Amino acid sequence: MKFQVFKNGNVVDKFDFYGAYLFGSDGIAIRRARIKFKDGCVECSKPTLQTAGLTLLWPVEGFGRVLLPTTCLPEREKPYILNVEITRAKLMQIVNKREDWSLFNNSRENEKLIKEAQTLFIEALQNISDAPKAAKLADESLKRAIVLSEQLAGHQAGVLFEARRKSHGFGRGCLGCLVNPEQIGNVKYIQGLLALSGFVTVPINWAKIEKEEGKYDFSTIDACVQVLKKKRLAIGAGPLLQFKKNTIPKWLVDSKAGFEKVRETAYRFVSKVVSRYSGSVRAWRVVSGLNAFNYFGFGFDQVLEMTKAASLAVKVLGDRALKIIEIANHWGEYYADTQNTISPLVYVDMIVQSGINFDALGLQFRVGKNQAGMHVRDMMQISAILDYFAPLSKPVYITEVEVPSEIQQKSQSGKAAGIWHDEWNQMKQAEWIGQFYKIALSKSFVDTVTYSHLIDAEDSLIAGSGLLTDKFEPKKSYLMLKKLRGQIFGG
466 pLDDT exceeds 80? Answer: yes
Q: What is the CATH number of the domain that holds 347?
A: 3.20.20.80
80 lies in the same domain as 204: no
Torsion of CA 231, 282, 479, 409, to 10 degrees: 120
* Confidence band for 462, pLDDT divided at 50, 70 and 90: very high
Can you tell me the mean pLDDT for 15-31?
94
Please write the tens of the pLDDT for every residue from 66-97.
999 999 999 999 999 999 999 999 999 999 99
Please write the tens of the pLDDT for every residue from 127-182.
999 999 999 999 999 999 999 999 999 999 999 999 999 999 999 999 999 999 99
244 lies in the same domain as 229: yes
The range of the structural domain enclosing residue 14 comes to 2-161
* Percent of all residues in the chain with a pLDDT value above 70, rounded to a whole number: 100
Give the helix ranges, DSSP H, for 354-475.
379-388, 414-417, 426-442
Lowest mean pLDDT of 48-52, 236-240, 476-480, name the range.
Answer: 48-52
97 lies in the same domain as 191: no
Report how many domains make up the chain: 2
Provide the residue type at 172 as one letter: R
Lowest mean pLDDT of 99-103, 236-240, 473-477, name the range.
Answer: 99-103
128 lies in the same domain as 222: no
444 lies in the same domain as 355: yes
172 lies in the same domain as 27: no
Can you tell me the mean pLDDT for 274-293?
95
Is residue 120 within 8 Å of 144, Cβ to Cβ? yes
Decide which of 121, 146, 161 is a domain's last residue: 161
Is residue 379 within 8 Å of 64, Cβ to Cβ? no
453 pLDDT exceeds 70? Answer: yes
Distances in Å between the alpha carbon of 26 and those of 72, 147, 448? 10, 27, 29
- Which pLDDT score, from 0 to 100, does residue 169 have? 95
200 lies in the same domain as 125: no
How far apart CA 97 and CA 88 sit, in angstroms, is 14
- Which pLDDT score, from 0 to 100, does residue 401 have? 98
Distances in Å between the alpha carbon of 369 and those of 95, 336, 461, 469? 30, 18, 9, 20
Nearest alpha-carbon partner for 469 in 194, 201, 192: 192
Compute the 3-state secondary structure of the chain and give helix, strand, coil in percent, each to the nearest 5: 45, 20, 35
Give the number of other CB atoms < 10 A from CB of residue 100: 12
Decide which of 127, 161, 195 is a domain's last residue: 161
Q: Between these two residues, 380 and 107, which has the higher pLDDT value?
A: 380
Strand 446-451 versus strand 396-402 pairing type:
parallel
135 lies in the same domain as 191: no
259 pLDDT exceeds 90? Answer: yes
243 lies in the same domain as 308: yes
- Which pLDDT score, from 0 to 100, does residue 371 have? 96
Rg (CA), the chain: 23
Lowest mean pLDDT of 314-318, 377-381, 426-430, name the range.
Answer: 314-318
Decide which of 161, 180, 211 is a domain's last residue: 161
How far apart CA 54 and CA 86 sit, in angstroms, is 9
SS3 state of residue 99 = helix
Is residue 489 within 8 Å of 164, Cβ to Cβ? no
227 lies in the same domain as 122: no
491 pLDDT exceeds 80? Answer: no
91 lies in the same domain as 217: no
Can you tell me the mean pLDDT for 436-451?
98
20 pLDDT exceeds 70? Answer: yes
Please write the tens of the pLDDT for every residue from 301-347.
999 999 999 999 999 987 789 999 999 999 999 999 998 999 999 99
* Confidence band for 107, pLDDT divided at 50, 70 and 90: confident
Handedness of CA 221, 195, 436, 63 (dihedral sign): negative
252 lies in the same domain as 380: yes
Strand 175-178 versus strand 21-24 pairing type:
unpaired
- Which pLDDT score, from 0 to 100, does residue 3 have? 98
Is residue 266 within 8 Å of 241, Cβ to Cβ? yes
* Percent of all residues in the chain with a pLDDT value above 90, rounded to a whole number: 93
108 pLDDT exceeds 90? Answer: no
Is residue 488 within 8 Å of 198, Cβ to Cβ? no
465 pLDDT exceeds 80? Answer: yes
105 pLDDT exceeds 80? Answer: no
- Which pLDDT score, from 0 to 100, does residue 292 have? 95
